Structure 1
Amino acid sequence: MRILHLSDTHIGPAGASAGRGVDATASLRLVLAELRHQRDVDAVVVTGDLADDGSAEAYTTVRELIGGFARSLGAPVFYTTGNHDERGAFTEVLGSGHPEASRELPGAERAAVSTVAGWRFVTLDSLVPGEVYGRLGAGRLDWLREVLGTPSGHGTVLALHHPPISHPVSATRQVFGLRDAGGLAEAIRGSDVRVVLAGHFHLQLCGFLASVPVWVTPGVVNRVDLTAAPGTERAVRGASASLVELGGEGGPLFHTVHARDPRAHETVYELDEERTRELIELRG
Protein backbone atom coordinates (compact mmCIF):
# COMPACT_ATOMS: atom_id res chain seq x y z
CA MET A 1 0.00 0.00 0.00
CA ARG A 2 1.55 3.28 -1.15
CA ILE A 3 -0.08 6.45 0.16
CA LEU A 4 0.52 10.05 -0.84
CA HIS A 5 -0.07 12.10 2.31
CA LEU A 6 -0.73 15.85 2.14
CA SER A 7 -1.97 18.28 4.76
CA ASP A 8 -2.61 21.93 5.54
CA THR A 9 -3.24 23.36 2.10
CA HIS A 10 -4.95 26.41 3.70
CA ILE A 11 -6.61 27.50 0.47
CA GLY A 12 -8.30 30.91 0.72
CA PRO A 13 -10.65 32.77 -1.64
CA ALA A 14 -9.70 32.89 -5.32
CA GLY A 15 -6.46 34.78 -5.82
CA ALA A 16 -5.82 35.26 -2.10
CA SER A 17 -2.98 33.96 0.01
CA ALA A 18 -3.49 31.96 3.17
CA GLY A 19 -2.72 34.98 5.32
CA ARG A 20 0.73 33.51 6.01
CA GLY A 21 2.80 35.39 3.45
CA VAL A 22 2.33 32.57 0.95
CA ASP A 23 0.06 32.04 -2.04
CA ALA A 24 -1.51 28.79 -0.87
CA THR A 25 -2.92 27.80 -4.24
CA ALA A 26 0.48 28.30 -5.87
CA SER A 27 2.10 26.15 -3.15
CA LEU A 28 -0.37 23.35 -3.79
CA ARG A 29 0.15 23.54 -7.54
CA LEU A 30 3.91 23.47 -7.00
CA VAL A 31 3.96 20.36 -4.84
CA LEU A 32 1.55 18.52 -7.14
CA ALA A 33 3.77 19.39 -10.12
CA GLU A 34 6.78 17.95 -8.29
CA LEU A 35 4.82 14.78 -7.55
CA ARG A 36 3.73 14.24 -11.15
CA HIS A 37 6.27 11.46 -11.75
CA GLN A 38 5.04 9.30 -8.87
CA ARG A 39 3.74 5.88 -9.82
CA ASP A 40 1.94 3.03 -8.06
CA VAL A 41 0.16 5.34 -5.61
CA ASP A 42 -2.83 3.46 -4.20
CA ALA A 43 -4.47 6.27 -2.23
CA VAL A 44 -4.17 9.97 -1.45
CA VAL A 45 -4.88 11.17 2.11
CA VAL A 46 -5.28 14.86 2.96
CA THR A 47 -5.36 15.47 6.71
CA GLY A 48 -7.22 18.71 7.20
CA ASP A 49 -6.97 22.48 7.09
CA LEU A 50 -7.95 22.19 3.46
CA ALA A 51 -9.50 25.67 3.51
CA ASP A 52 -8.13 28.66 5.37
CA ASP A 53 -11.47 30.46 5.43
CA GLY A 54 -13.88 27.49 5.50
CA SER A 55 -15.50 28.55 2.23
CA ALA A 56 -17.13 26.26 -0.32
CA GLU A 57 -15.02 28.01 -2.96
CA ALA A 58 -11.82 26.89 -1.24
CA TYR A 59 -13.00 23.26 -1.00
CA THR A 60 -13.91 23.34 -4.67
CA THR A 61 -10.34 24.46 -5.50
CA VAL A 62 -8.92 21.63 -3.36
CA ARG A 63 -11.21 19.09 -4.99
CA GLU A 64 -10.31 20.25 -8.49
CA LEU A 65 -6.54 20.35 -7.93
CA ILE A 66 -5.98 17.31 -5.71
CA GLY A 67 -8.87 15.34 -7.18
CA GLY A 68 -7.62 15.93 -10.71
CA PHE A 69 -4.10 14.91 -9.72
CA ALA A 70 -5.36 11.74 -8.00
CA ARG A 71 -7.41 10.77 -11.05
CA SER A 72 -4.22 10.87 -13.12
CA LEU A 73 -2.83 8.26 -10.69
CA GLY A 74 -6.02 6.22 -10.58
CA ALA A 75 -6.12 6.68 -6.79
CA PRO A 76 -9.02 7.63 -4.47
CA VAL A 77 -8.71 10.68 -2.21
CA PHE A 78 -9.68 10.73 1.48
CA TYR A 79 -10.06 14.07 3.27
CA THR A 80 -10.34 14.95 6.96
CA THR A 81 -11.41 18.18 8.63
CA GLY A 82 -8.95 20.47 10.44
CA ASN A 83 -9.32 23.37 12.83
CA HIS A 84 -9.57 25.89 9.96
CA ASP A 85 -12.25 23.85 8.21
CA GLU A 86 -16.00 24.40 8.36
CA ARG A 87 -18.08 21.23 8.45
CA GLY A 88 -21.03 22.57 6.46
CA ALA A 89 -19.01 23.79 3.49
CA PHE A 90 -16.74 20.73 3.68
CA THR A 91 -19.81 18.47 3.46
CA GLU A 92 -21.35 20.52 0.66
CA VAL A 93 -18.32 19.99 -1.59
CA LEU A 94 -16.60 16.83 -0.30
CA GLY A 95 -19.40 14.91 1.43
CA SER A 96 -18.01 12.52 4.02
CA GLY A 97 -14.48 13.09 2.73
CA HIS A 98 -14.55 9.73 0.93
CA PRO A 99 -15.58 9.18 -2.69
CA GLU A 100 -17.69 6.12 -1.79
CA ALA A 101 -17.66 5.46 1.95
CA SER A 102 -18.79 2.05 3.13
CA ARG A 103 -19.67 3.55 6.50
CA GLU A 104 -20.11 7.05 7.93
CA LEU A 105 -20.44 8.46 11.43
CA PRO A 106 -24.04 9.69 11.88
CA GLY A 107 -24.37 13.43 12.49
CA ALA A 108 -22.45 16.52 11.47
CA GLU A 109 -18.95 15.25 12.30
CA ARG A 110 -17.06 13.96 9.28
CA ALA A 111 -15.80 10.42 9.93
CA ALA A 112 -15.97 7.61 7.42
CA VAL A 113 -14.62 4.21 6.32
CA SER A 114 -13.51 2.90 2.93
CA THR A 115 -11.47 -0.07 1.72
CA VAL A 116 -8.70 0.00 -0.90
CA ALA A 117 -7.03 -3.24 -1.97
CA GLY A 118 -7.82 -4.92 1.34
CA TRP A 119 -6.65 -1.94 3.45
CA ARG A 120 -9.23 -0.08 5.53
CA PHE A 121 -9.06 3.72 5.57
CA VAL A 122 -10.73 5.45 8.50
CA THR A 123 -10.87 9.25 8.70
CA LEU A 124 -11.74 11.03 11.95
CA ASP A 125 -13.00 14.53 12.69
CA SER A 126 -10.91 16.14 15.46
CA LEU A 127 -12.22 19.67 14.83
CA VAL A 128 -13.27 21.78 17.83
CA PRO A 129 -14.92 24.88 16.28
CA GLY A 130 -13.07 28.05 17.20
CA GLU A 131 -10.09 26.26 18.76
CA VAL A 132 -6.61 25.35 17.50
CA TYR A 133 -6.40 22.14 19.53
CA GLY A 134 -8.35 18.99 18.65
CA ARG A 135 -10.60 16.55 20.43
CA LEU A 136 -12.44 13.40 19.35
CA GLY A 137 -14.83 12.96 22.26
CA ALA A 138 -16.55 9.86 23.59
CA GLY A 139 -18.97 9.47 20.70
CA ARG A 140 -16.36 9.39 17.95
CA LEU A 141 -14.08 7.15 19.99
CA ASP A 142 -16.93 4.69 20.64
CA TRP A 143 -17.69 4.66 16.91
CA LEU A 144 -14.01 4.02 16.12
CA ARG A 145 -13.86 1.12 18.57
CA GLU A 146 -16.91 -0.40 16.92
CA VAL A 147 -15.36 -0.04 13.45
CA LEU A 148 -12.10 -1.61 14.59
CA GLY A 149 -13.94 -4.46 16.29
CA THR A 150 -13.97 -6.26 12.94
CA PRO A 151 -10.46 -6.68 11.47
CA SER A 152 -9.85 -5.72 7.85
CA GLY A 153 -7.96 -7.70 5.22
CA HIS A 154 -4.49 -6.17 5.58
CA GLY A 155 -4.93 -3.57 8.30
CA THR A 156 -6.27 -0.08 8.96
CA VAL A 157 -4.92 3.34 8.06
CA LEU A 158 -6.25 5.93 10.51
CA ALA A 159 -6.18 9.61 9.52
CA LEU A 160 -7.02 12.78 11.44
CA HIS A 161 -5.83 16.37 11.59
CA HIS A 162 -4.54 16.87 15.14
CA PRO A 163 -1.52 14.72 16.06
CA PRO A 164 -1.77 12.55 19.18
CA ILE A 165 1.96 13.14 19.75
CA SER A 166 4.00 16.33 20.18
CA HIS A 167 7.60 17.56 20.14
CA PRO A 168 9.03 19.08 23.33
CA VAL A 169 11.13 21.57 21.35
CA SER A 170 7.99 23.39 20.19
CA ALA A 171 6.08 25.25 22.89
CA THR A 172 2.92 25.69 20.80
CA ARG A 173 2.73 22.14 19.42
CA GLN A 174 2.44 20.65 22.89
CA VAL A 175 -0.72 22.73 23.44
CA PHE A 176 -2.27 22.61 19.96
CA GLY A 177 -2.41 18.83 19.44
CA LEU A 178 -5.10 16.24 20.22
CA ARG A 179 -6.41 16.74 23.75
CA ASP A 180 -7.73 13.18 24.21
CA ALA A 181 -4.78 11.28 22.77
CA GLY A 182 -5.07 8.82 25.67
CA GLY A 183 -8.59 7.90 24.59
CA LEU A 184 -7.41 7.35 21.04
CA ALA A 185 -4.57 5.17 22.30
CA GLU A 186 -7.03 2.95 24.17
CA ALA A 187 -9.29 2.72 21.12
CA ILE A 188 -6.53 1.49 18.81
CA ARG A 189 -4.57 -0.63 21.28
CA GLY A 190 -4.47 -4.25 20.09
CA SER A 191 -6.39 -3.40 16.90
CA ASP A 192 -5.33 -3.79 13.27
CA VAL A 193 -4.38 -0.11 12.92
CA ARG A 194 -1.01 -0.09 11.15
CA VAL A 195 -0.39 3.65 11.03
CA VAL A 196 -1.90 6.94 12.19
CA LEU A 197 -1.54 9.85 9.74
CA ALA A 198 -1.89 13.46 10.90
CA GLY A 199 -1.02 17.04 9.96
CA HIS A 200 -1.62 20.40 11.68
CA PHE A 201 1.91 20.98 12.98
CA HIS A 202 3.34 21.99 9.56
CA LEU A 203 6.43 19.90 10.36
CA GLN A 204 7.43 16.28 9.93
CA LEU A 205 7.33 14.15 13.05
CA CYS A 206 7.29 10.42 13.76
CA GLY A 207 6.43 8.67 17.02
CA PHE A 208 4.21 5.96 18.49
CA LEU A 209 0.78 5.77 20.09
CA ALA A 210 -0.14 2.46 21.76
CA SER A 211 2.77 0.89 19.79
CA VAL A 212 1.28 2.15 16.50
CA PRO A 213 3.48 4.39 14.30
CA VAL A 214 2.24 7.97 14.01
CA TRP A 215 3.37 10.09 11.07
CA VAL A 216 2.85 13.85 10.94
CA THR A 217 3.44 15.29 7.48
CA PRO A 218 4.71 18.87 7.00
CA GLY A 219 2.36 21.47 5.52
CA VAL A 220 1.76 22.18 1.88
CA VAL A 221 1.41 25.92 2.54
CA ASN A 222 4.64 26.24 4.58
CA ARG A 223 6.86 24.43 7.09
CA VAL A 224 7.64 25.21 10.73
CA ASP A 225 11.38 25.44 11.41
CA LEU A 226 12.35 24.12 14.86
CA THR A 227 15.78 25.78 14.71
CA ALA A 228 14.20 29.02 15.95
CA ALA A 229 15.21 30.36 19.38
CA PRO A 230 13.55 28.72 22.42
CA GLY A 231 10.08 30.10 23.07
CA THR A 232 9.72 31.37 19.50
CA GLU A 233 8.41 29.88 16.29
CA ARG A 234 9.35 30.44 12.65
CA ALA A 235 7.60 29.23 9.51
CA VAL A 236 9.50 29.06 6.25
CA ARG A 237 8.61 28.67 2.61
CA GLY A 238 8.59 25.10 1.35
CA ALA A 239 5.64 23.09 0.08
CA SER A 240 5.93 19.50 1.29
CA ALA A 241 4.15 16.15 1.21
CA SER A 242 4.90 12.56 2.24
CA LEU A 243 4.96 9.11 0.72
CA VAL A 244 3.96 6.31 3.09
CA GLU A 245 4.53 2.65 2.24
CA LEU A 246 2.86 -0.15 4.19
CA GLY A 247 3.02 -3.91 4.01
CA GLY A 248 6.63 -4.45 3.03
CA GLU A 249 9.30 -6.14 5.12
CA GLY A 250 10.75 -2.84 6.31
CA GLY A 251 7.47 -0.97 6.66
CA PRO A 252 6.00 1.30 7.42
CA LEU A 253 8.31 3.59 5.46
CA PHE A 254 7.95 7.38 5.43
CA HIS A 255 9.56 9.73 2.93
CA THR A 256 9.11 13.50 2.85
CA VAL A 257 8.99 15.24 -0.53
CA HIS A 258 9.95 18.93 -0.67
CA ALA A 259 8.88 20.85 -3.76
CA ARG A 260 11.68 22.78 -5.42
CA ASP A 261 11.22 26.51 -4.84
CA PRO A 262 13.97 29.13 -5.35
CA ARG A 263 12.66 30.96 -2.25
CA ALA A 264 12.58 27.85 -0.04
CA HIS A 265 13.63 28.43 3.60
CA GLU A 266 12.76 32.13 3.51
CA THR A 267 10.89 33.14 6.66
CA VAL A 268 7.18 33.74 6.06
CA TYR A 269 6.24 34.50 9.65
CA GLU A 270 7.84 34.58 13.08
CA LEU A 271 6.29 34.48 16.53
CA ASP A 272 8.41 36.02 19.25
CA GLU A 273 8.42 34.64 22.78
CA GLU A 274 5.75 37.06 24.03
CA ARG A 275 3.35 36.32 21.16
CA THR A 276 3.93 32.59 21.51
CA ARG A 277 3.10 32.78 25.22
CA GLU A 278 -0.06 34.79 24.45
CA LEU A 279 -1.22 32.17 21.95
CA ILE A 280 -0.62 29.35 24.41
CA GLU A 281 -2.55 31.16 27.14
CA LEU A 282 -5.37 32.07 24.75
CA ARG A 283 -5.74 28.56 23.36
CA GLY A 284 -4.72 26.61 26.45
Structure 2
Amino acid sequence: MHRVLHLSDTHVSRTGPDEDGVDGLAALKRLLYDVRHVPALDLVVVSGDIADDGSREGCEAVRSEVGSFAAERGIPHIYCTGNHDRHAGFVAALGWGHLGPDGASIGRRADVPDVIAGVSVVNGLRVITLDSLVPGSTDGVLGRGQLDWLTAELATPAPAGSIVVLHHPPLFVDAVPFMESVVLRDPAALGEVLAGTDVHAVLCGHLHHQLTGRVGETPVSVTPGVITRIDLTAPPALARGVLGAGATVVDLGGPFAPMFHTVHARDHDANAEVYVYNPLTGEDVAEE
Protein backbone atom coordinates (compact mmCIF):
# COMPACT_ATOMS: atom_id res chain seq x y z
CA MET A 1 0.00 0.00 0.00
CA HIS A 2 1.05 3.57 -0.64
CA ARG A 3 -0.28 6.86 0.71
CA VAL A 4 0.25 10.13 -1.16
CA LEU A 5 -0.34 13.69 0.06
CA HIS A 6 -1.51 15.58 -3.03
CA LEU A 7 -1.20 19.39 -3.01
CA SER A 8 -1.69 21.88 -5.82
CA ASP A 9 -1.92 25.57 -6.68
CA THR A 10 0.18 27.16 -3.98
CA HIS A 11 0.57 30.35 -6.09
CA VAL A 12 3.46 31.85 -4.15
CA SER A 13 5.22 34.79 -5.80
CA ARG A 14 8.65 36.36 -5.27
CA THR A 15 6.91 38.98 -3.11
CA GLY A 16 4.67 36.48 -1.31
CA PRO A 17 0.97 37.13 -2.14
CA ASP A 18 -0.62 36.17 -5.45
CA GLU A 19 -2.21 38.60 -7.92
CA ASP A 20 -5.36 38.71 -5.77
CA GLY A 21 -3.40 39.62 -2.66
CA VAL A 22 -3.78 36.20 -1.00
CA ASP A 23 -0.81 34.85 0.95
CA GLY A 24 -0.32 31.38 -0.50
CA LEU A 25 2.72 30.67 1.64
CA ALA A 26 0.74 31.26 4.82
CA ALA A 27 -2.03 29.00 3.49
CA LEU A 28 0.52 26.28 2.70
CA LYS A 29 2.03 26.53 6.19
CA ARG A 30 -1.42 26.19 7.80
CA LEU A 31 -2.23 23.18 5.65
CA LEU A 32 1.04 21.38 6.32
CA TYR A 33 0.66 22.05 10.03
CA ASP A 34 -2.85 20.60 10.07
CA VAL A 35 -1.91 17.44 8.14
CA ARG A 36 1.10 16.73 10.36
CA HIS A 37 -0.72 13.86 12.06
CA VAL A 38 -1.78 12.09 8.84
CA PRO A 39 0.01 8.74 9.20
CA ALA A 40 1.98 6.53 6.84
CA LEU A 41 2.66 9.02 4.05
CA ASP A 42 5.01 7.72 1.35
CA LEU A 43 5.42 10.91 -0.67
CA VAL A 44 4.11 14.42 -1.33
CA VAL A 45 3.18 15.59 -4.83
CA VAL A 46 2.47 19.19 -5.85
CA SER A 47 0.64 19.34 -9.17
CA GLY A 48 1.57 22.75 -10.51
CA ASP A 49 0.97 26.49 -10.21
CA ILE A 50 3.69 26.50 -7.63
CA ALA A 51 4.78 30.08 -8.33
CA ASP A 52 2.02 32.55 -9.15
CA ASP A 53 4.48 34.70 -11.09
CA GLY A 54 6.56 31.82 -12.44
CA SER A 55 9.53 32.93 -10.37
CA ARG A 56 12.42 30.91 -9.00
CA GLU A 57 11.83 32.60 -5.64
CA GLY A 58 8.21 31.45 -5.50
CA CYS A 59 9.20 27.87 -6.30
CA GLU A 60 12.01 27.95 -3.75
CA ALA A 61 9.65 29.14 -1.02
CA VAL A 62 7.28 26.24 -1.70
CA ARG A 63 10.17 23.79 -1.92
CA SER A 64 11.42 24.96 1.48
CA GLU A 65 8.08 24.39 3.22
CA VAL A 66 7.15 21.13 1.50
CA GLY A 67 10.74 19.92 1.64
CA SER A 68 10.92 20.43 5.41
CA PHE A 69 7.64 18.54 5.85
CA ALA A 70 8.94 15.69 3.66
CA ALA A 71 12.39 15.59 5.31
CA GLU A 72 10.83 15.19 8.75
CA ARG A 73 9.09 12.07 7.45
CA GLY A 74 11.92 10.78 5.27
CA ILE A 75 9.81 10.86 2.11
CA PRO A 76 10.26 12.32 -1.40
CA HIS A 77 8.51 15.45 -2.65
CA ILE A 78 7.61 15.66 -6.33
CA TYR A 79 6.42 18.62 -8.45
CA CYS A 80 5.09 19.35 -11.94
CA THR A 81 4.52 22.59 -13.84
CA GLY A 82 1.24 24.52 -14.03
CA ASN A 83 0.06 27.32 -16.29
CA HIS A 84 1.38 29.99 -13.90
CA ASP A 85 4.81 28.39 -13.72
CA ARG A 86 7.69 29.11 -16.07
CA HIS A 87 10.24 26.53 -17.12
CA ALA A 88 13.29 28.64 -16.18
CA GLY A 89 12.10 29.40 -12.64
CA PHE A 90 10.88 25.84 -12.09
CA VAL A 91 14.14 24.20 -13.21
CA ALA A 92 16.29 26.65 -11.24
CA ALA A 93 14.46 25.80 -8.01
CA LEU A 94 13.29 22.23 -8.53
CA GLY A 95 15.27 20.60 -11.34
CA TRP A 96 12.90 18.23 -13.10
CA GLY A 97 10.70 18.17 -10.01
CA HIS A 98 11.58 14.82 -8.42
CA LEU A 99 13.33 15.38 -5.08
CA GLY A 100 14.30 12.92 -2.38
CA PRO A 101 13.91 13.45 1.37
CA ASP A 102 17.26 15.26 1.43
CA GLY A 103 16.28 17.56 -1.44
CA ALA A 104 18.56 15.88 -4.00
CA SER A 105 17.14 15.00 -7.42
CA ILE A 106 15.88 11.45 -7.87
CA GLY A 107 14.74 9.49 -10.92
CA ARG A 108 15.34 10.96 -14.35
CA ARG A 109 14.05 13.68 -16.64
CA ALA A 110 12.15 12.84 -19.80
CA ASP A 111 14.19 13.14 -22.97
CA VAL A 112 11.58 15.32 -24.69
CA PRO A 113 12.52 18.78 -26.03
CA ASP A 114 11.03 21.82 -24.25
CA VAL A 115 9.26 19.65 -21.66
CA ILE A 116 9.85 19.21 -17.93
CA ALA A 117 8.58 15.70 -17.27
CA GLY A 118 10.16 13.00 -15.17
CA VAL A 119 9.88 9.61 -13.55
CA SER A 120 11.02 8.12 -10.26
CA VAL A 121 10.17 5.06 -8.19
CA VAL A 122 9.14 5.31 -4.54
CA ASN A 123 9.02 1.97 -2.71
CA GLY A 124 8.01 0.25 -5.95
CA LEU A 125 5.45 2.91 -6.96
CA ARG A 126 6.35 4.64 -10.22
CA VAL A 127 5.60 8.37 -10.19
CA ILE A 128 5.43 10.07 -13.58
CA THR A 129 5.08 13.84 -13.91
CA LEU A 130 3.95 15.47 -17.14
CA ASP A 131 4.26 19.04 -18.41
CA SER A 132 0.95 20.42 -19.71
CA LEU A 133 2.10 24.06 -19.58
CA VAL A 134 1.37 26.22 -22.63
CA PRO A 135 3.04 29.60 -22.01
CA GLY A 136 0.48 32.39 -21.99
CA SER A 137 -2.49 30.01 -22.05
CA THR A 138 -4.85 28.83 -19.33
CA ASP A 139 -5.57 25.42 -20.86
CA GLY A 140 -3.06 22.61 -21.19
CA VAL A 141 -1.53 20.37 -23.86
CA LEU A 142 0.45 17.14 -23.94
CA GLY A 143 2.26 16.98 -27.27
CA ARG A 144 2.88 13.85 -29.27
CA GLY A 145 6.48 13.59 -28.08
CA GLN A 146 5.44 13.59 -24.44
CA LEU A 147 2.67 11.04 -25.03
CA ASP A 148 5.10 8.78 -26.90
CA TRP A 149 7.55 9.03 -24.00
CA LEU A 150 4.75 8.16 -21.55
CA THR A 151 3.78 5.18 -23.70
CA ALA A 152 7.35 3.89 -23.61
CA GLU A 153 7.61 4.35 -19.84
CA LEU A 154 4.39 2.46 -19.18
CA ALA A 155 5.27 -0.42 -21.50
CA THR A 156 6.93 -2.19 -18.56
CA PRO A 157 4.82 -2.43 -15.37
CA ALA A 158 6.28 -1.15 -12.10
CA PRO A 159 6.38 -3.38 -8.99
CA ALA A 160 3.60 -1.41 -7.25
CA GLY A 161 2.01 0.20 -10.29
CA SER A 162 2.11 3.86 -11.32
CA ILE A 163 0.55 7.26 -10.82
CA VAL A 164 0.61 10.10 -13.34
CA VAL A 165 0.73 13.71 -12.12
CA LEU A 166 -0.06 16.75 -14.28
CA HIS A 167 -1.62 20.14 -13.76
CA HIS A 168 -4.52 20.28 -16.22
CA PRO A 169 -7.30 17.73 -15.60
CA PRO A 170 -8.40 15.52 -18.50
CA LEU A 171 -12.02 16.10 -17.43
CA PHE A 172 -14.40 18.90 -16.45
CA VAL A 173 -17.87 19.57 -15.05
CA ASP A 174 -20.40 19.90 -17.90
CA ALA A 175 -22.63 22.18 -15.83
CA VAL A 176 -19.89 24.82 -15.44
CA PRO A 177 -19.47 26.49 -18.85
CA PHE A 178 -15.98 27.91 -18.36
CA MET A 179 -14.33 24.67 -17.21
CA GLU A 180 -14.08 23.05 -20.65
CA SER A 181 -11.96 25.96 -21.89
CA VAL A 182 -9.29 25.67 -19.17
CA VAL A 183 -8.59 21.94 -18.87
CA LEU A 184 -6.41 19.54 -20.88
CA ARG A 185 -6.97 19.59 -24.62
CA ASP A 186 -7.68 16.20 -26.21
CA PRO A 187 -8.04 14.17 -23.01
CA ALA A 188 -8.91 11.10 -25.09
CA ALA A 189 -5.31 10.95 -26.32
CA LEU A 190 -4.09 10.59 -22.74
CA GLY A 191 -6.79 8.04 -22.01
CA GLU A 192 -5.63 5.90 -24.93
CA VAL A 193 -2.05 5.87 -23.63
CA LEU A 194 -3.18 4.88 -20.13
CA ALA A 195 -5.56 2.11 -21.25
CA GLY A 196 -4.43 -1.32 -20.12
CA THR A 197 -1.42 -0.01 -18.15
CA ASP A 198 -0.57 -0.21 -14.46
CA VAL A 199 -1.63 3.40 -13.72
CA HIS A 200 -3.73 3.52 -10.54
CA ALA A 201 -4.77 7.15 -10.93
CA VAL A 202 -4.09 10.51 -12.57
CA LEU A 203 -3.57 13.34 -10.05
CA CYS A 204 -4.25 16.94 -11.17
CA GLY A 205 -4.89 20.44 -9.87
CA HIS A 206 -5.67 23.71 -11.68
CA LEU A 207 -9.43 23.89 -11.00
CA HIS A 208 -9.04 24.81 -7.30
CA HIS A 209 -11.96 22.44 -6.83
CA GLN A 210 -12.29 18.88 -5.57
CA LEU A 211 -13.36 16.63 -8.44
CA THR A 212 -13.10 12.97 -9.37
CA GLY A 213 -13.86 11.18 -12.62
CA ARG A 214 -12.24 8.99 -15.25
CA VAL A 215 -10.26 9.39 -18.42
CA GLY A 216 -11.11 6.21 -20.25
CA GLU A 217 -11.01 3.62 -17.49
CA THR A 218 -8.38 5.38 -15.38
CA PRO A 219 -9.50 7.25 -12.23
CA VAL A 220 -8.72 10.98 -12.10
CA SER A 221 -8.53 13.03 -8.89
CA VAL A 222 -8.45 16.84 -8.91
CA THR A 223 -7.32 18.20 -5.56
CA PRO A 224 -8.56 21.50 -4.05
CA GLY A 225 -6.28 24.53 -4.31
CA VAL A 226 -4.01 25.48 -1.45
CA ILE A 227 -4.33 29.24 -1.97
CA THR A 228 -8.07 29.42 -2.76
CA ARG A 229 -10.89 27.16 -3.81
CA ILE A 230 -13.64 27.70 -6.38
CA ASP A 231 -17.13 27.79 -4.85
CA LEU A 232 -19.51 26.18 -7.35
CA THR A 233 -22.57 27.61 -5.62
CA ALA A 234 -21.93 30.77 -7.66
CA PRO A 235 -24.13 31.28 -10.76
CA PRO A 236 -22.85 28.94 -13.51
CA ALA A 237 -21.39 31.74 -15.64
CA LEU A 238 -19.29 33.09 -12.77
CA ALA A 239 -16.21 31.92 -10.87
CA ARG A 240 -16.21 32.68 -7.16
CA GLY A 241 -12.92 32.18 -5.33
CA VAL A 242 -12.93 31.78 -1.56
CA LEU A 243 -10.32 31.15 1.12
CA GLY A 244 -9.73 27.74 2.64
CA ALA A 245 -6.72 25.56 1.82
CA GLY A 246 -7.39 21.95 0.90
CA ALA A 247 -5.48 18.84 -0.13
CA THR A 248 -6.10 15.17 -0.89
CA VAL A 249 -4.74 12.04 0.73
CA VAL A 250 -4.59 9.28 -1.89
CA ASP A 251 -4.55 5.64 -0.80
CA LEU A 252 -3.30 3.07 -3.28
CA GLY A 253 -3.12 -0.70 -3.14
CA GLY A 254 -5.87 -1.54 -0.65
CA PRO A 255 -9.06 -3.49 -1.39
CA PHE A 256 -11.02 -0.31 -2.23
CA ALA A 257 -8.19 1.62 -3.89
CA PRO A 258 -7.73 4.14 -5.20
CA MET A 259 -9.33 6.14 -2.40
CA PHE A 260 -9.27 9.94 -2.22
CA HIS A 261 -9.70 11.71 1.13
CA THR A 262 -10.11 15.50 1.13
CA VAL A 263 -8.55 17.41 4.01
CA HIS A 264 -8.96 21.10 4.87
CA ALA A 265 -6.81 23.44 6.91
CA ARG A 266 -8.38 25.14 9.88
CA ASP A 267 -8.77 28.80 8.99
CA HIS A 268 -10.93 31.42 10.69
CA ASP A 269 -11.25 33.16 7.31
CA ALA A 270 -12.27 30.02 5.39
CA ASN A 271 -15.06 30.66 2.86
CA ALA A 272 -14.38 34.40 2.83
CA GLU A 273 -14.83 35.63 -0.73
CA VAL A 274 -11.67 36.64 -2.60
CA TYR A 275 -13.07 37.35 -6.07
CA VAL A 276 -16.05 36.87 -8.36
CA TYR A 277 -15.49 37.24 -12.08
CA ASN A 278 -16.83 36.18 -15.45
CA PRO A 279 -14.26 33.77 -16.93
CA LEU A 280 -15.48 34.38 -20.48
CA THR A 281 -14.92 38.15 -20.33
CA GLY A 282 -12.36 38.39 -17.53
CA GLU A 283 -14.43 41.10 -15.87
CA ASP A 284 -14.86 41.35 -12.12
CA VAL A 285 -18.49 41.07 -11.10
CA ALA A 286 -20.43 42.45 -8.18
CA GLU A 287 -22.61 39.44 -7.44
CA GLU A 288 -26.19 40.16 -6.38
Output aligned runs, 1:53-132, within 5 Å: 53-99=53-99, 100-106=105-111, 107-132=113-138
Query: Where does residue 149 of structure 2 map in the other structure?
Result: 143
Are the aligned partners of 2:55 and 2:86 in contact in 1 as well (CA < 8 Å)? yes
Query: Where does residue 3 of structure 1 map in the other structure?
Result: 4
CA–CA separation in structure 1 for the residues paired with 2:244 and 2:36: 17
What amino acid is the match of 2:74?
G
CA–CA separation in structure 1 for the residues paired with 2:282 and 2:275: 15
Aligned length: 276
CA–CA separation in structure 2 for the residues paired with 1:269 and 1:251: 36
Are the aligned partners of 2:48 and 2:85 in contact in 1 as well (CA < 8 Å)? yes
Q: Secondary structure at the match of 1:25?
A: helix
TM-score computed with the length of structure 1 as normaliser: 0.94
TM-score computed with the length of structure 2 as normaliser: 0.93
What amino acid is the match of 1:84?
H
Larger CA deviation: 1-10 vs 89-98: 89-98
Q: What whole-Å deviation, never above 9, does each CA across 1:169-228 have from its counterpart, x for those lacking one?
A: 222211100002111011111111110000000000000112111000000000000000
Query: Where does residue 247 of structure 1 map in the other structure?
Result: 253
What amino acid is the match of 1:268?
V
What amino acid is the match of 1:69?
F
CA–CA separation in structure 2 for the residues paired with 1:101 and 1:36: 24
Q: Secondary structure at the match of 1:33?
A: helix
Q: Secondary structure at the match of 2:28?
A: helix
Q: Secondary structure at the match of 2:279?
A: helix
Q: CA RMSD in A?
A: 1.3
Q: Greater helix share, 1 or 2?
A: 1
Q: What runs of 5+ residues in structure 1 fail to find an aligned partner?
A: none
Q: What whole-Å deviation, never above 9, does each CA across 1:231-282 have from its counterpart, x for those lacking one?
A: 11101110111100000001111111110111111110001xxx322249xx
Residue 26 (structure 1) shift = 0.8
Are the aligned partners of 1:170 and 1:233 in contact in 2 as well (CA < 8 Å)? no
What amino acid is the match of 1:196?
V
Percent identity between matched residues is 46
Query: Where does residue 154 of structure 1 map in the other structure?
Result: 160
Output aligned runs, 1:1-284, within 5 Å: 1-14=2-15, 16-99=16-99, 100-106=105-111, 107-271=113-277, 275-279=278-282
Are the aligned partners of 1:21 and 1:269 in contact in 2 as well (CA < 8 Å)? no
CA–CA separation in structure 1 for the residues paired with 2:236 and 2:116: 36
Are the aligned partners of 2:98 and 2:107 in contact in 1 as well (CA < 8 Å)? no
Q: Secondary structure at the match of 1:278?
A: coil
What amino acid is the match of 2:231?
D
Q: Secondary structure at the match of 2:120?
A: strand
Residue 72 (structure 1) shift = 1.1
Residue 109 (structure 1) shift = 1.1
CA–CA separation in structure 2 for the residues paired with 1:226 and 1:29: 25
Are the aligned partners of 1:223 and 1:236 in contact in 2 as well (CA < 8 Å)? yes
Are the aligned partners of 2:48 and 2:205 in contact in 1 as well (CA < 8 Å)? yes
Are the aligned partners of 1:8 and 1:50 in contact in 2 as well (CA < 8 Å)? yes
Are the aligned partners of 1:39 and 1:73 in contact in 2 as well (CA < 8 Å)? no
Q: Secondary structure at the match of 2:263?
A: strand
Q: Secondary structure at the match of 2:133?
A: coil
Q: Secondary structure at the match of 2:163?
A: strand
Are the aligned partners of 1:123 and 1:160 in contact in 2 as well (CA < 8 Å)? yes
Are the aligned partners of 1:137 and 1:180 in contact in 2 as well (CA < 8 Å)? no
Q: What runs of 5+ residues in structure 2 fail to find an aligned partner?
A: 100-104, 284-288
